[in-house]
Structure formats: C-alpha cells, structure tokens
Amino acid sequence: MERGANREIWIGGEKLYGISDRVGFEIFVSWWKTIVSLGEGVGNCWFNSEVVRRVGNGASTSFWNVAWRGALTFRAKYPRLYSISNQQEACVREIGGSGEWLFEWRRRFFQWEEHLFNLLKEELEGVVWSPGDEDRWFWKLTEDGVFSVKSTYEKLIGLLIVEDRWWEDEKMVFGGISKSAAPLKVIVFSWKALLNRIPTKSNLRIRNVIPADASSLCVGCGRVDETSVHLLLHCDLAIEVWGRVMRWWNFSMVTPPNLFVHWACWNAMESRKKLKKVLRLVWHAAIWVLWKAQNNSIFNNGIGCSEELAEEIKVLSWRWAMHRVHMYPCLFYEWLWNTRDCSLR
C-alpha cells in the first residue's frame, strides 16, 4: 500500500497532486476504485468530502461541472442557470479570466432567474486568482494537501470505529492487516470479513437482498448460519484447508473463536520479520481462496476439495511473494518444500 504514498495520483487522466516520480495510471485506477469502494461500510461520500479543487489560473477546472467553490458544483446548485448557459463546458478562466465574470446565456432571464444569478454572483465574490499556479486537487486530510495512504487509512478506521467500539487488540489487527503486501482488494476484503460485512447469506438476508424466508445456511456444510467467521474459519472445509496450510508450515493451532484471534495467533507463529511478512501473505491468500471457492460453488455446483484449495493458496502466496515482496526469486517447488528458506534468502 505504501506504493501510493508521496507519489502522484491520477484520476480520470487528471493529476490529483504530484510530488515525485510518476506511477502508472492503470495501477491507480484499480487501486483507486478499491479505496473509494471502502465507502460501502462508512458512507459513500467520504472520499468526495475530503478532496477539494484549488483554482490557480482556472485553466483546467470546469466552471459548472467541478465543485471548486464549496462542496457542490454550480451545475448542481443552479441547474436552471446551467441549462440556459452557452458555456456549459467552459473552464473557470474562460468565464472569469478577464477580471470580471462574463456569462453568455441562451436567452434573457425570467425574473426569478435574475434572483438565482445574483446568488451565483455573490458566491463568486472574493475569488482569488493566482495566474502562475495550475489548478490542483487538494487532499484535506494532510497539511500539505498531498494524498497519503496513511491519512486515508486513519480516516476510514476512524469512521469504522465510530460505528463499533473496538478493543485495542482489534485495532492492532487492523493496523497489521493494512501493512500486508497482499493486493489491496484482498486487504479490503479481509477488513470487511473481520467486520462481518461480506455478502454472506446471513448478511444478505439481514439487508433484504435475499428473501427473509430464504435459507441462510452455509453453502458448504448446510448446517450452520453462513457468517464470515463460519465460512472462513469454522466450516469443515475451512478447518481442513487451514489444517493443510499449517502442516505445510509445520505448525498447528486450535481453531480460535474469531478472525481477529486467528490473525493474531497466525502472526505469532514466526518472530523473524521476513517470515512474518510471508506468513501474512499466506493468511491473506487463504482467506481469499476460501471466499472465492465458496462463492464459485454457488455457480459451479461444487466447492472443490481442501487439497485443491490448499494448493491454490500455495500458488497464490508464491506469486504474491515473487511479485509483491522484494524476495529473492525461487521456483515453485522450492517454495513448496522450503518456504522458510526461500523467504529468508
């Protein structure tokens, strides 16, 4: 996740801010979608409310379509005026660059539109230009206006904590998970799973996505209510899969009551930093593979056996370890037989 810190962020082809080297646009589009989708748990407006447009020379900010004066766009605040404007696509400079605001309208105002126009003009009083500066996005959560993953994480975790009161231990778990080198979508999924906010049958029923009389029994065993802790930890299949993964690493633990404790125990299995890092990847890979498997079973009539899933976890964690952690390259079979050695090279 640190990849995004102190670099450039591009949204829709436009730079949100920039300091040092440029990072690929595609990475951030998908990365960005994931960040914004975190809003599902905390209200969908969280992102927009933290970013503002600072107008410099006004050359790259749409007058009507970007919220550059307050939280709403002028188009949203004055739809009537927008509808009769001849400058719907104009940037701020095109309308106000000469020192006064020069509007062009399709027709003369009705009297009540005159009133709207006066309100708009009031809002435009005191606009300060700095012709030497480019317009830019400003991130409100940091002092310098530069986006950082850390500030976003703190903001979101703050929002989540308002909803539920967390124990200190649980906060530590969230902090640890966010440091994993697993892909962001997987980390986000883990957060949601810990909060029991993934679309399990019981959650879907609570949210009326499936009918109240539909079964909320586990897709795997059909015996217990399908919750995230059941699917990912307590269902027979999950127990078998974790068992195989633990045998691969040559350790064992009693299945804990929830994912928080599981993560904490899992992390305690290794004390060396490099191994911990890899072990976290394995944990995320296991959570991800288990979820995918149970999800697919709905469409494919069959979850797959624990042996296949454990194999998938080994492959996935190997791929992540090769591409996402600065690890010395190793072959897959080395990974299988000597994971610790591979990790410590």
How many of the chain's residues bind Zn ion (CB under 5 A)? Answer: 4
Q: What Å distances lie between residue 259 and 164, 256, 287, 329, CA to CA?
A: 16, 8, 10, 31
Q: Which stretch binds Zn ion (CB under 5 A): 33-41, 163-171, 230-238, 264-272?
A: 230-238
Residue 222 beta carbon to Zn ion: minimum distance, rounded to whole angstroms: 7
SS3 of 217, please? strand
Q: Which stretch binds Zn ion (CB under 5 A): 211-219, 264-272, 285-293, 303-311?
A: 211-219
Q: Which stretch binds Zn ion (CB under 5 A): 43-51, 171-179, 215-223, 255-263?
A: 215-223
Closer Cβ to Zn ion, 218 or 290, answer by number: 218
**What tokens does 54 get?**
């600072």
Rounded CA gap, 169 and 160, in Å?
A: 15
Start-end of H helices in the chain? 25-37, 39-42, 74-77, 79-83, 92-96, 111-124, 149-163, 168-178, 184-194, 201-206, 228-229, 236-249, 259-268, 273-300, 306-324, 332-337, 339-344
Residue 203 beta carbon to Zn ion: minimum distance, rounded to whole angstroms: 15
Q: Does 221 bind Zn ion (CB under 5 A)?
A: yes
Residue type, 149: V
Rounded CA gap, 126 and 25, in Å?
A: 36
Rounded CA gap, 179 and 2, in Å?
A: 8
Q: Which stretch binds Zn ion (CB under 5 A): 155-163, 231-239, 248-256, 276-284?
A: 231-239
With contact defined as beta carbons under 8 Å apart, do 342 and 319 qualify? Answer: no
Buried b (16+ CB within 10 A) or exposed e, 275-299: bbbbbbbbbbbbbbbbbebbeeeee
> Site for Zn ion (CB under 5 A): which residue of 220, 260, 318, 330?
220
Residue 285 beta carbon to Zn ion: minimum distance, rounded to whole angstroms: 20
Residue 133 beta carbon to Zn ion: minimum distance, rounded to whole angstroms: 59
Q: Does 218 bind Zn ion (CB under 5 A)?
A: yes
Q: Does 188 bind Zn ion (CB under 5 A)?
A: no
Residue type, 101: W
Q: Which stretch binds Zn ion (CB under 5 A): 90-98, 189-197, 218-226, 327-335?
A: 218-226
> Site for Zn ion (CB under 5 A): which residue of 38, 184, 188, 235?
235
Residue 19 beta carbon to Zn ion: minimum distance, rounded to whole angstroms: 49
Q: Does 241 bind Zn ion (CB under 5 A)?
A: no
Q: Which stretch binds Zn ion (CB under 5 A): 75-83, 100-108, 200-208, 217-225?
A: 217-225
Residue 282 beta carbon to Zn ion: minimum distance, rounded to whole angstroms: 22
Residue 218 beta carbon to Zn ion: minimum distance, rounded to whole angstroms: 3
Closer Cβ to Zn ion, 23 or 221, answer by number: 221
Taking every pair of Cα atoms in the chain, the longest distance, rounded to a whole number of angstroms, is 81
Rounded CA gap, 119 and 328, in Å?
A: 64
Binding site for Zn ion (CB under 5 A): 218, 220-221, 235
